């Protein structure tokens, strides 16, 4: 499901009525997702997409020691597998951490080993951890502030299509500076609380 629907974006464009431009709006919504996700620090999903929508991530992390492990993309919906392997092979079942041995705090992106886990702590070492997980927002969990930002930006892009690449407009002897088509300041402000603290290493 997209960040917003074409109908929701259309409500921010008073000159539009009917759904005749919905294909264009859907394209702009998809591009907003990619641009905004990049601004917010989302890494590439396994599919290669950069998106704040729910998708699968495979992340290799340095073994932190202690009981807590933090992943990059949030919120985490589910964990597919976690390997803690000093040999960096990530296939030995002995290195697979059982789901019953940890607790996921999805909004924080934290994976915490339980006190009665088979391993008392994560190992320490370069890229010892391989974690495959699903993270991001779905239509039902997409924050309203992000949806508002999407509608603002899509409306701006839609209405500014005629002056792509131009910095000013001259008419009847007057020159007016045009607003660029990058993310609007108010859009960046709306997205700022959802910017990720990045520790992504591929």
Inform me whether the pLDDT recorded for 161 exceeds 90. no
What is the layout of strands, in order, in the sheet containing 124-135? 55-64, 124-135, 76-84
For the chain, percent of residues with pLDDT exceeding 70? 88
pLDDT per residue as tens digits for the range 106-133: 999 999 999 999 988 999 999 999 999 9
Residues near 196 by Cβ (< 8 Å), separated by ≥ 6? 40, 41, 42, 72, 73, 74
pLDDT at 170: 47
> How much is the pLDDT for 65?
94
Q: How many beta carbons lie within 10 A of that of residue 9, not counting itself? A: 29
* pTM of this prediction exceeds 0.95: no
Tokens (6 digits) for 60: 């290799």
Q: What is the mean pLDDT of the chain?
A: 89
On the question of pLDDT at 198 being above 90, the answer is no
Q: Rounded to the nearest 5°, which phi and psi values hold at 107?
A: -65, -30
pLDDT tens-place string over residues 33-67: 999 999 999 999 999 999 999 999 999 999 999 99
Rounded Cα gap, residues 8 and 17, in angstroms = 12
Q: Tell me what pLDDT residue 81 has.
A: 98
Alpha carbon distance 37, 2 (integer Å):
13
């Amino acid at each position: 499901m997209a960040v917003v629907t074409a109908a929701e974006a259309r409500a921010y464009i008073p000159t539009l009525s009917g759904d005749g431009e919905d294909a264009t709006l859907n394209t702009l919504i998809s591009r907003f997702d990619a641009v905004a996700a990049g601004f917010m620090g989302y890494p590439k999903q396994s599919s290669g997409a950069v998106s704040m929508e729910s998708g699968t991530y495979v992340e290799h992390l340095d073994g932190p020691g202690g009981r807590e492990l933090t992943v990059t993309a949030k919120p985490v919906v589910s964990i597919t597998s976690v390997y803690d392997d000093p040999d960096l092979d990530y296939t030995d079942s002995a290195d697979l951490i059982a789901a019953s041995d940890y607790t996921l705090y999805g909004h924080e992106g934290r994976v915490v080993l339980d006190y009665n886990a088979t391993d008392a702590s994560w190992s320490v070492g370069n890229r010892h951890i391989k974690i495959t997980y699903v993270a991001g927002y779905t239509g039902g969990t997409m924050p309203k502030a992000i949806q508002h930002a999407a509608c603002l930006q899509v409306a701006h892009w839609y209405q500014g299509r005629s002056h792509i690449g131009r910095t000013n407009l001259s008419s009847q002897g007057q020159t007016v500076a045009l607003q660029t088509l990058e993310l609007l300041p108010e859009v960046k402000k709306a997205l700022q609380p959802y910017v990720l603290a990045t520790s992504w290493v591929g």
